[in-house]
Structure 1
Amino acid sequence: MGQPAYARPALLVITVLAAVLYAWGINHSHYHTFYANAVRSMTESWKAFFYGSFDPGNSITLDKLPGFLWPQAVSARIFGFHPWALTLPQVMEGVASLLVLYRVVRRWAGDNAALIASGTFLLTPVSVGLFRTAVEDPLFTLCVLLAAEATQRAAEAGRLRPLVMAGVWVGIGFQSKMLEAWAVLPALAVVYLISAPVPLRKRLVHLGLSAVVMTAVSASWMVAVALTPAKDRPYVDGTTNNSAFSMVVGYNFLNRFSSVGISAASTGSISATRGGGGHGGSHGGADGSGAANGAGTSAGAGASPSHGGAPHLGHASGSGTAGTPPHAGQQTGAAQPPGRTHGGGPGGFGGSGQDGWSKMFGPALASQTGWLYPFAAIALVCGLLWRRGRPRTDRIRAGFALWGTWLTTYFLVFSAGSVGGHTYYMGVIAVPLAALTGAGVTLLWRAYRAGGRRAWVLPGAVAATAAWGAFLAREFPSFLPWLAPAVGVLGLAAVVLLVLARPGHTRHGGRLALAGLAASLAAVLLAPSAWAVQVFNPAYGSSGMGAVGPSGMRGGHGGHGSAKWPGGAHGKGGFGESSGQLTSVQRKLLAYTTAHRGSAEYVFATNGWNNASPYILAKGTQVLPLGGFSGQVPSPTQDQFRQLVNSGKVRYVLLGEGRGMGAMFGGGGGGTTSATRITDWVRSHCTRVPASAYGGTRSPTTAPAGEGGTAQTLYRCGPAR
């Protein structure tokens, strides 16, 4: 209603471009090596679907809430279990997020601002990478945007119903991203408190009721798990006490803030620092490389991309996972530019460039998200200052308060928490940056056309943003070396045109001013666009970390180990991906254990999720993983495992030649975890099955040949037959 004629066609073009960028190469997707196991299990039974079980036997859950995987599991049930079926919901969530952002900004600042905001969001590199990954953030981003839209409607009329709906959306977002979803609450509360046209007491009552609904929806899964007897549900991963609350609050929230002195030691969760893990990297060492021996998991909290508001410690990249083709940055068919680095250190993710309070301004994150920091900041300040003296219910000021509070809150949360290389966290930062840029352009343009001292703000904002963009581009000297000079020249041309065309300065001010505005948009959007379109480039495509384009800093050529296709090479904190195919040796081992399992509930047990992964992905095999993601979880305990063997529920056990995943978590010699104690018991009390027994000439390994995997050995436990 009242839209200019070009608005709908322009939005249609932006939407189509979004669908293309997000879905490009979807038919070449690979499975996420951790989450896809759960999706496969969730398609095997509705019990696994509800609990988010990692394995089809429902022995243990994921180390986070399962809500973000429900759309993927539904898609797999409809279309079959294929990599593209798991990527498709993420693409749809991305397109929906863009449309909701357009609607919110249009309602707040008009059609032009909405078109610029949606175009800016589309061209922000992290938004392109985010909606191609099988992680929590796509659904989470959509939910908080829907909550903002509902709050906006509630604030305009002081209505309770849409405000309650906002609480519902935040609660659903909680099912995807846990406590990080609550970080949007200050922004939603501020906009309703300062602008709803009802008395303060009524505003507070409305917010209270919405908070009650939000809390109920947020806690619903945890309460359901808590009320279910432990024997009737899977063990909750990430915890020592089998508590969903410990997993959410301790493991996926407090552990993220160990750098500021917060400890989760008393929560019953697996500690982020046990076994030498630090807070700074991707789940493990400060260099972000994960476990010291690089075997595939880190010594850190073991949390995957999750977040009570802060980035997780990541699951750092190692030598790959069982049955997975390439590991981080080595996806089949993806060309790798020379010098490309993975993990920590300069030029890669997880290094010192992403630690500390300045990490958000470091090239690795800023190049994916922060090209428009200066423009958005200037627009925010001007939007708030220039609306002083307006009525309390002023819609424009309320919008700036919403996005400004949103941006500030998440900026501080991520700065205090441990980000590692998990770029996709930044999607929730890209949203307010795009909104503030869209509204800022229209606000500053009107001020420019009105003349006076405020007319100088637009050229100043363009100059600052172009200079920042040229600086960031120069941090990647081997990638499009012409880009930094081009941004600088465009920025200079834009400023000159705007200065020459300022009101009353020339007869042709109108045309020059429009040319200056066009040059301004080109100057501030050229560099992020250059990154975003690399999704079409096999050498710089998108990674499972949500990054697109290069990320190596000055002095290096590298990137982030980008993968060519959706699904990414980094996956859960850097693990690699899988095609879901078993090797010849794995197929023979599976056939042997299946044929000889008898009445056993599990085809075999194995020490570590990555050993179980290929069999679950390829066949939905009922495999019992020991120790959860980190290897530290007491599921099962040694006594419980022996009971499983004695009762005939477990007959075969597949172990690595080392001490299993638990060896990386403080275990080596003393059997300090349930998994390592079980491993020692199996080697002492069970019979080794030679590879020749199942038609193999060698044992299976934890990674494909040539990737440094360790050999595995099959054991038969229980009485002889």
Structure 2
Amino acid sequence: MEQRKNIFPKKHVKIDLWLVAILVLAAFLYGWNIWEAGSANSFYTSAIISMSESWKNFWYASFDPAGFITVDKPPVALWFMVIFVKIFGLHGWSIVISSVLFSLGSVFLIYKMVKPYFGALAARIAALLMTLTPIVVADARTNNMDATLVFFLLLACYVLQKAVSKHNIWLVGLAFALVGVSFNVKMLQAFMILPAMYVFYWIASKENWKRILWGSVVGTIALIVFTLSWPLAVDSVSKQNRPYIGSSSTNSVLNLAFGYNGTQRLLGQTTGTGGTFTGMGNSKKGTKNKSKAQNTKKLTNSNKQNKAGGKAPGMTKGTGKTGNNAGGGNSIFNVGTAGVTRLFQTALGQQISWYLPLALVGLIIAYLTAYDTKKKWWQLNRRQEQLIYWAGWLVPVAGFFSVASFFHPYYTIMLAPPIAVLAAVGISSFIESLNTVPSKKNYWLRGIMGVGIITNGALQAFFVWEYSVIAGIVVAVISVIMSIFIIFNYSKVKLFTAVGLLGLLWLPAFWSLTPTISAESAAIPTSGPSLLSGNGQSAGSIGDSSANTKLISYLKKHNGSKVKYLFATTDSNTAAPYIIKTKKAVMTIGGYNGTDNAITLKQFKKLVKKGEIKYFYISSHTNNNAIVRWVKKHGKKISASTYGGNSSSTTPSGMSKKGSRGPQQSAKGGPGGKKNMAKFQGKKPKKMGKMGKMVKNKKNKKSNTAGKMSGGMGQQQSSVLYELD
């Protein structure tokens, strides 16, 4: 009897145990202690709570349960977070688990993208370097959008790879559609990889130019459709029937995209600042102050407590201070001095640039080893096309962060994939060349690799020097010795290359471990030994301040049945902890920064007359706008003693306080202030043991920033509650 042929042949999937081990390591770094996440970034946590209560809030990404105003980003990343909260309930871990999973997915996608073209060794090293990039770990542990953004961009690039290899135009459309989805994660930041995608498609497609052109048209149409679908859908709705678009100047999503989340990121924030602050924009004075502060490395303990920088309304977002190299003066961005060396300065470098010299050298080595002397220089092979793909991601993004004015260090996670890949393929290509070219004849490759390892070791020594001179010397010595052996020893080059790589991994691995050990889940995520000092945990920013429980009880008791809002206030920073604590609506008339024109005085008075707003909370940093002036003139001031003073709690039922502890405000004397730090944390500061004494006491000067970046209700003694008639 003839045996029937199986039309569905079995595929034997070979599991790479090295990849499994790397993913397990990543899962530990990204996921361990996330149950201590607390409210993470309270600004977005408030939105998650609000979005989980109605489909309307879910669609618009409303900040408050009443749907008065939106957050400053599109909703796609928040949608995933809301889904997990709806399934598992509101917990610290449930609001960040999607970021953890997307980060794991990014590691896996890097492996899948590298292996077909550069082999398993390169893929494993790339996945490991991505895993051990400190800012990747820090971002994975928050409910910010960056981990989600990187995953979708990698997915788009992976699909485009498949589209080229399979000659499938519809996959091209899908790849660019995913970039459109990424736009609705974090807006124009997603478009930074478009040059790489278009160039790669044109140089790698082995089809006639007409079909390539048609594929480009299909991809561009898909990009436009998926990019504009949500913004146009929202903007087409009457402004009276939807929330105000937070952080926009015209109540428009497109204005938000191309303004606050677009050109202002490059040129500097021009709206919603309410004042002038040193270090903003491209001010030479500001950057000099930053540079000076970074060189002196003299910070106060309060600076360490405020490493993420609180945000007063009228200011831009928090400083992102890590406690070790914050900007000088009143700088509100810890991003170093703009210029070609910015990524090599400690402000950004300690988060993202641990393997950057190796990546640059790796690009050169990989391209040279892939070069075919029998072909013309413009005739590219598959490996060279892939190198151009990754370099096309690295160069424009690195260029942007080198000159941009309005961003936080954790945004640099965008650089992590190309740095990891280029460093990995450089190492693997070098090792491969040792098998094909006699060691005595490839001295030029060995020389380039040796220089790369020495340079990378020197940069890492520079990054760690302020914490531990010993650690800096160790990594520098290892790099020099291994480089000498690589260049001059012909018999054991592979061994010395492996040891050299391990010598460059231990410091970034330690840096990557710090957010995990300290249970870091911050509004302004960061990494580094300052997290383990007890003064740098959970970088507080918007909404990380405390909710006064006695004030809540007073408001619940005295608000009438017609009241729609627990109270009104100027900014989301003040409102967020109360929304998280009570699940009730709090009106923020000024949005994120307290400077949005979300409601007019006439409209506000109408709501007061209807009984929807009975109380207005004026915090210590409120802008003196028309509504605030009217409240002060016509409202009845309620003494703090009436509702019982400053008893506070920021954590709702089911959420741990630990993830939100630490520098809840930068204002002195508040619940997160210097005097109350130990009491608020409920534990003694952690020490790091003998790791080169990276956490050490320094003789510090007073910082000008201390107490000026107040967050939420840190200065409660000067905040006032008004009753409105």
* TM-score bucket of the superposed structures, by smaller chain: 0.7 to 0.9
Match of 1:443 in 2: 429
Which whole-Å CA distance do the structure 2 matches of 1:25 and 1:377 have between them?
Answer: 35
Given the superposition, is the C-alpha separation of residues 680 and 641 from structure 1 closer, same or farther in structure 2, using an over 3 Å criterion? same
Pair 1:346–1:109, CA change in 2 (3 A): farther
Please give the secondary structure, in 2, of the residue aligned with 1:714: strand
The CA deviation at 1:342 is 7.5
**Corresponding residue for residue 555 of structure 1:** none
Inter-partner Cα distance in structure 2 for 1:419 and 1:410: 14
Partner of 1:519: 499
Residue 198 of structure 1, aligned match among 207, 219, 233: 207
- Give the direction of change, closer, same or farther, for the CA distance of 1:519–1:690 in structure 2 (3 Å limit): closer
- Is the alpha carbon distance of 1:456 and 1:357 closer, same or farther for their aligned partners in structure 2, counting shifts above 3 Å? closer
Q: 1:629 aligns with which of 580, 584, 592?
A: 592
CA distance in 2, matches of 1:154, 1:92: 25
Measured in 1, the distance between the counterparts of 2:118 and 2:139 equals: 26
Deviation at 1:607, TM superposition (A): 2.5
Conserved 8 A contact 1:342-1:561: no
Q: Shift of residue 543 of structure 1?
A: 5.3
Question: Do the aligned partners of 1:68 and 1:176 also contact (CA within 8 Å) in 2?
Answer: yes
* Structure 1 residue aligned with 2:536: 562
Identity of aligned residues (%): 27
Instruction: Give the secondary structure class of the aligned counterpart of 2:16.
Output: helix
Q: Distance in 1 between matches of 2:282 and 2:78?
A: 25
Are 2:614 and 2:724, in contact at CA under 8 Å, matched by a contact in 1? Answer: yes
Tell me, in whole angstroms, the C-alpha distance in 1 between the residues paired with 2:542 and 2:556.
Answer: 27
> Is 2:13 aligned against 1:8?
no
Aligned to 1:533: 513
Q: What's 2:280 paired with?
A: 279
Moved more, 11-20 or 626-635: 626-635
Instruction: Judge conservation of contact 1:281–1:419 (CA < 8 Å) in 2.
Output: no
Q: Is the alpha carbon distance of 1:347 and 1:362 closer, same or farther for their aligned partners in structure 2, counting shifts above 3 Å?
A: farther
Q: Distance in 1 between matches of 2:339 and 2:462?
A: 22
Separation of aligned partners in 2, 1:36 and 1:279: 27
Aligned residue for 2:420? 434
Shift of 1:348: 10
Give 1:523 shift: 2.7
1:323-342 per-residue CA deviation (whole Å, 9 max, x = no partner) reads xxxxx87xxxxxxxxxx458
2:616 is paired with a residue whose SS is strand
Change (3 A) 1:467 1:343: closer
Q: Secondary structure of 1:44's match?
A: coil
- Indicate whether 1:545 and 2:524 are aligned: yes
The 1-side partners of 2:159 and 2:277 are apart by 44
Equivalent position SS for 1:653: strand
CA distance in structure 2 between the partners assigned to 1:526 and 1:47 by the alignment = 48
1:587/1:136 Cα in 2 relative to 1: closer, same or farther (>3 Å)? same
Q: Give the drift of 1:576.
A: 7.0
**Residue 231 of structure 1: CA displacement?**
1.1
Q: 1:68 to 1:542 in 2, by over 3 A?
A: closer
State the Cα distance separating 1:410 from its structure 2 match: 0.4
Amino acid at match of 1:279: M
Shift of 1:464: 2.8
CA distance in 2, matches of 1:472, 1:343: 18
- Indicate conservation of the 8 Å contact 1:167/1:210, yes or no: yes
- SS, match of residue 249 in structure 1: helix
Q: Does 1:404 align with 2:391?
A: yes
Tell me if the contact between 2:354 and 2:508 (Cα under 8 Å) persists in the aligned partners. yes
Q: TM-score scaled to structure 2, two decimals?
A: 0.80
Is the 2:69–2:598 Cα contact (8 Å) retained in structure 1? yes
Pairing 1:22–2:30 present:
yes
Q: Which residue number corresponds to residue 544 of structure 2? A: 577
Question: Is the 1:360–1:366 contact (alpha carbons within 8 Å) kept by the matching residues of 2?
Answer: yes
Change (3 A) 1:419 1:607: closer
Taking structure 1 as reference, are residues 371 and 610 closer, same or farther at Cα in structure 2, changes over 3 Å only? closer
Distance in 1 separating the partners of 2:413 and 2:534 = 17
1-structure distance, mates of 2:672, 2:392: 50
Instruction: State the partner residue of 1:147.
Output: 156
Is 1:590 paired with 2:593?
A: no
Which residue of structure 2 lines up, in the alignment, with residue 492 of structure 1?
480
Does the alignment pair 1:297 with 2:312? yes
Aligned to 2:355: 372
Correspondence for 1:90 = 99
- Give the match for residue 307 of structure 1: none
Q: Aligned residue for 1:334?
A: none
**Cα distance, 1:491–1:542 mapped onto 2, change above 3 Å:** farther
Matched positions, count: 632
Deviation at 1:716, TM superposition (A): 2.5
Q: For residue 333 of structure 2, what is the aligned residue in structure 1?
A: 350
Q: What does 1:302-381 correspond to in 2, within 5 Å?
A: 302=316, 314-316=317-319, 340=323, 343-345=326-328, 350-351=333-334, 353-381=336-364
CA distance in 2, matches of 1:28, 1:246: 37
What's the secondary structure of 1:661's corresponding residue? coil
Q: Structure 1 residues 678 and 715 mapped into 2: Cα distance closer, same or farther (>3 Å)?
A: same
When the two structures are superposed, what TM-score results if normalisation uses the length of structure 1?
0.80
Cα distance in 2 for residues equivalent to 1:145 and 1:112 = 20
Amino acid at match of 1:569: A
Q: Distance in 2 between matches of 1:246 and 1:645?
A: 30
Aligned partners of 1:655, 1:140: CA distance in 2, in Å?
Answer: 36
**Counterpart position of 1:383:** 366
Change (3 A) 1:358 1:92: same
Distance 2:53 2:286 in 1: 36
Partner letter of residue 616 of structure 1?
I
CA distance in 1, matches of 2:450, 2:348: 21
Instruction: Kindly indicate whether the alpha-carbon contact (under 8 Å) linking 1:354 and 1:365 is maintained by their aligned counterparts in 2.
Output: no
- For the aligned residues, what is the CA RMSD? 3.3
Q: 1:609 aligns with which of 537, 557, 572?
A: 572
Q: Partners of 2:310 and 2:471 in 1: how far apart?
A: 39
Distance 1:495 1:108, change over 3 A: same
CA deviation map 1:129-178 (0-9, x unaligned): 12112211100000110011011111223321211111121111111111
For residues 227-255 of structure 1, give each alpha carbon's deviation from its aligned partner in whole angstroms, at most 9, with x where no partner exists. 11111100011123211111110111111
Q: Counterparts of 1:530 and 1:154 in 2: how far apart (Å)?
A: 39
- Which one of 375, 400, 409 corresponds to residue 413 of structure 1? 400
Distance in 2 between residues matched to 1:2 and 1:698, nearest whole Å:
65
Q: Cα deviations across residues 17-59 of structure 1 (Å, max 9, x unaligned)?
A: 0000001211111211211111111112111111111111111
**Counterpart of 1:709?**
715
Deviation for aligned residue 1:430: 1.2
1:142 partner SS: helix
Unmatched 5+ stretches in structure 1: 303-313, 318-327, 330-339, 503-508, 553-557, 664-675
5+ unaligned residues in a row in structure 2: which ranges?
A: 1-9, 291-302, 650-664, 674-713
SS, match of residue 79 in structure 2: helix
Assess, with a 3 A threshold, how the Cα gap between structure 1 residues 133 and 620 changes in structure 2: closer, same or farther: same
Partner of 1:602, secondary structure, is coil
The answer for the alignment partner of 2:705 in structure 1 is none
Aligned CA distance change for structure 1 residues 560 and 272 (closer, same or farther; 3 Å)? farther
